[in-house]
Amino acid sequence: MSEEILEKLKENVIQGRKTGDDMGVDESLSGTPGVLELTESALSEDISPESIITKALTPGMEIVGEKYSKKEYFIPDMLASAEAVGAAMDVLKPLLEKSNVETKGKFAIATVKGDIHDIGKNIVAILLKGAAYEVIDIGIDVPEDKIVDVVRQEKPGYLGLSAMLTTTMTEMKTIIETLKENNLRDKVKVFIGGAAVSEEYARQIGADAFCADGFEAIKTLDNFQAT
């Protein structure tokens, strides 16, 4: 029974169906339980949160990633699956905390001061949440003080900064400098992204990495996890 639920859960991650109302790639699934309902069912069957993550959510997302690489899936499919996994993680998080199971880490993300572009930031946030990171979305047009406050209080291991404009990208340097002034720079890895910036710019301002998109962000964070 538990195997069956986990298999269905994995399939619904692949289908990107957060709830029973969602349509997946396979339209015939419409009306059947989605990831949220199946996560609840799995918990009621006494399947552990760790099993749900390792046997259904993570392998489901891996298959989604493979389909994306093979151009069978596109970004909207990835996002739908990541959102479904993110919703399941919200249900599982209190249980994981209760049993002292560590998540992959906290990731805070913001679009810098003067910049209101948020599509890229949102996509990165959804994908990382789907990849089992705890995501703190600080918002758009965020001043450096607020970012520093979040780093100090929430203690994320990773900070993502997004800028779309050449006029706002300089804010990233200011934020890094402010983190240094507050003795927080060595407590957090800083990633930058957005149309205005590059790998070279990341090196120039002392960021830890440049990520071209959300998928690269997952890879980069996972690599940091491994080291």
Give me the residues that bind other proteins (CB under 8 A), please.
16, 23, 25, 74-77, 79-80, 83, 118-119, 122, 126, 137
Minimum distance of other proteins from residue 76's CB (angstroms): 4
**169-188 per-residue burial string, b: 16 or more CB within 10 A, e: under 16:** bbbbeebbebbeeeebbeeb
Minimal distance, residue 4 CB to other proteins, in Å: 26
Q: Is 44 helix (H, G, I), strand (E, B) or coil?
A: helix
CB of 66 to other proteins, least distance (A): 17
Instruction: Answer whether 225's CB lies under 8 Å from 105's CB.
Output: yes
Please identify, using beta-carbon distances, which residue of 5 and 107 lies nearer to other proteins.
107
Maximum Cα interatomic distance, the chain, rounded to a whole number of Å: 57
CA distance 208 to 206: 7
Q: How many other β-carbons are positioned within 10 Å of the β-carbon of residue 7? A: 14
Task: Tell me, rounded to whole angstroms, the distance of Cα 172 from its chain centroid.
Answer: 20
24, 27, 162 from 21: Cα distances, Å: 10, 11, 33
Q: Which two tokens stand for residue 121?
A: 């930031």
Residue 11 or 77 having the CB closest to other proteins:
77
Query: Closest distance between other proteins and the C-beta of residue 87, in Å?
Result: 12
Identity of the residue, 67 or 173, whose beta carbon is nearer to other proteins in the bound complex: 67
Contact between 111 and 162 (Cβ < 8 Å): yes
22 or 171: CB nearest other proteins? 22
Q: Which is nearer to other proteins, 79 or 142 (CB)?
A: 79
Which residue number, 212 or 225, has a Cβ lying nearer to other proteins? 212
| CA atoms of 196 and 72, how far apart (whole Å) | 29
**At its nearest, how many Å lie between other proteins and the CB of residue 73?**
10
**To the nearest whole angstrom, how small is the minimum distance from the Cβ of residue 195 to other proteins?**
17
Under DSSP, the state recorded for 56 is: I
